[in-house]
Structure 1
């Protein structure tokens, strides 16, 4: 595996190299489909707000590791975002990107309806990385993620939504499509190639 490197926390990079993903019910399967064809050499970071409370964390990690050609791990509070890594939100924690390009975890508050919050991750990434961000909404049984995609696209980033017909749970993709006008709506298996194309386009 190629050595990973820290990514500068600046919107001025010449390529899209930050991929943020929101997934809930059925999301592990969708992520596995993306990871299966993920290019190992692609110098991007993938940060996932994954709600998979019905599956043991160790099993989730094992499944995704079995498909991904790059390092997969649960995010650690305060660690720097690095290329060629997949970061997962730990169970019951919100995962966001903070100033300086570090990963931050928190327990949320009594008003948080869902954890991890896809909208919070997307909004934070948009604020830090701007047009470098690719936001992906996958399968899920909530309305989370639609506002976050708006934030990403408003900052110059790109929005991708899983085709609802391809998702185990259609609500998140359908809500994102109703509340936003994302650039792409594709099957999970087609996303790795699309991300590679987008990352190779100059900004």
Structure 2
């Protein structure tokens, strides 16, 4: 795993262990779906973020609250057990890095590429599909998208695919114009 820098450190070790278990149990897709669901819940809930990230909660309190969240979301089996292990080991704060690393392992296993995409506002499914098609034509592989919303880029998008990066954000264009004006002045 050392050749894949996105799968290193503590989060990489947890992700690798989960990936190997899911592969052995032939449940990679269901575990990925569960983790994607949990990641979406995390993005949508300030309370869940606080539960996951705050060191003030004991592992018992985190475990009890997490169990209720997982039951309500219908997340069970390997995925639920894994999230409970993270909690028991006081590593729940790193869950988003673990989920990303797991996604990278799944993509590599399936021969897919992962693109980190930063946009000013959430893209529609139609635009996401168009972006996937465009990236597939460039890479020749199916492309999974990790989309981050960052209003500070104003408009456009930034796409990072492996070591290649395309920055068509309005912020970058404005900065280059500002720089050119300083040079000319």
TM-score by length of 2: 0.27
Relative to its length, the structure with more helix (as a share) is 2
Q: Which structure features the higher share of strand residues?
A: 1
Structure with higher Rg: it is 2
